[in-house]
Amino acid sequence: MSPDTQTTSTGLELVVDIGPVAHGGHCVARHEGRVVFVRHGIPGERVRVRLTDAEEKAKFWRGDVVEVLDASPDRVPHFWRTADSAGSWAHGRPPVGGAELGHISLQRQRSLKSEVLAEQLRRLAAVELSPEVEAVGEAKAGTQDSAGTRESAGTNDGGTGLGWRTRASFGVTGSGRLGMHAHRSDQVIPVREMPLAIDAINSLRLWDVDLQGIERVEVAAPANGSRPLVLLAPADGTRAKRLNAILSQLPADVSVASYDPLKNETLQLRGRTWVQESAAGHDYRVTGAGFWQIHRDAPETLVGAVTEFLHDGGFLEPGAAVADLYAGAGLFTAPLADAVGETGSVLSVEGAPGTSRDARKNLHGAPQVEIVQGKVERVLRQRPRQFDALVLDPPRAGAGKAVVSQLIDSNPRAIAYVSCDPSSFARDIGYFQQGGWQLSGLRAFDLYPHTHHLETVALLTPRG
């Protein structure tokens, strides 16, 4: 065993020098030739790492920082004790997941996310770009000088990066207390705050509720201040009496429903089984665990970026034919319908039946909109048509080669691609380029401060 290696009560520890950031919320280090993916470090630091995944024959190991021996100037005190790696391991447990960059200044967080996006684009799409990752909402408002000119996000953090989540997912401990999972673990760690969530979630004080009989809790609290919804996923055998006991502990003005994530079924317990969201001058009904952007300022930010790309390029005019693919409850469909008017047309495609029903309700007053429930690839195959523009907002796995090929075959003039994963996004950009298309515009947004995630909006057009 080398001098930089020791065994403690919590496992094997190594001293390593932190190398470059990598996609997934960790940095790359090396120990005796083996790659170690390290969370809670910063490039350039020298740290002690507690190995969390270290099989002898594995190609790489994983670990968490437990001590900083030579700190980066960008290291700051973590805002959340339960998510702080060194402090958590000092008490014999791992940190909760979901705030893995909380030890880094916001300015450096965005710089690292830009590096990750640039590396993925270079490696998977042969594109050389280093896009700035922009702050949004309150943070963006802080990035202005005295003359009102917007500064680079690299020169002004603006805001704290806290209080932005309008949705949160929790586990439940064996004793019935609210908790969150450690990274890549089934272990649920009790929590008594969620600093990334908006006040409407924290004010529910779910950590004071006896949740015995519940396996998972989902909370949606719209940024517009409308009625929150608490979804309870009961364990097998949990009786109605137990659910009623939990219900009696929750504020009376909160909607509550039971939820079966395997069957995607929601059962009303009190109030509504949906929430009302607002964005871009429209109200949206979103049922149960249906998808909606998490950051309170994300809907306006993304709608603005998409419509700006398409409108400024002359692809979104009255009378145009457009499609919104992976459309969800219609976040983009509604403003697209506004832009093309009743002389145009919008095809809105969503695979989830419940979410598609929401879109139908949300767009019932727009005769130019056709709502179709089904897989994007099937709908495009069964309903071939030509479009002036497409909006593409796929899940984290991206669109994939087959869908990209179908999109190209539909011969649109432009595609706006919204993505929450730089790896699948860069892969798909490569597929578009192979099909004769080019990346004509790209913006990146820090919609998930203190985590490794980011959102991108791209404009794609045919080459030549």
- Give the position of tokens 């030549």: 464
d(CA 375, CA 176): 38
Give residues with Cβ within 8 angstroms of 34, minimum separation 6: 59, 60, 61
CB atoms closer than 10 angstroms to residue 3? 6
- Give the position of tokens 């419940």: 354
d(CA 359, CA 35): 46
DSSP string across 233-254 = EEPTT--HHHHHHHHTTS-TTS
Catalytic residue among 36, 320, 420, 447: 420
From residue 164, give the alpha-carbon distance in Å to each of 74, 110, 158, 160, 384: 22, 16, 14, 10, 40
d(CA 444, CA 335): 21
From residue 427, give the alpha-carbon distance in Å to each of 23, 133, 261, 343, 461: 14, 19, 30, 36, 17
d(CA 232, CA 243): 9
- Give the position of tokens 């830009």: 114
Give the three-class secondary structure for 88: helix
Q: Which of 150, 151, 212 is nearest to 176 (CA)?
A: 212
Is residue 420 among the annotated active site residues? yes
Longest dimension (CA), the chain: 74
Q: Say if CB 355 and CB 287 are below 8 A apart.
A: yes
Q: Environment class of residue 126 by beta-carbon count within 10 Å: exposed (0-12), middle (13-18) or buried (19+)? A: exposed
Tokens of residue 397, six digits: 């796995």
Give residues with Cβ within 8 angstroms of 427, minimum separation 6: 124, 125, 398
Alpha helices in 411-451 (DSSP H): 422-434
Q: The dihedral of CA 36, 42, 47, 48: what is its sign?
A: negative
Active site residues per annotation: 420
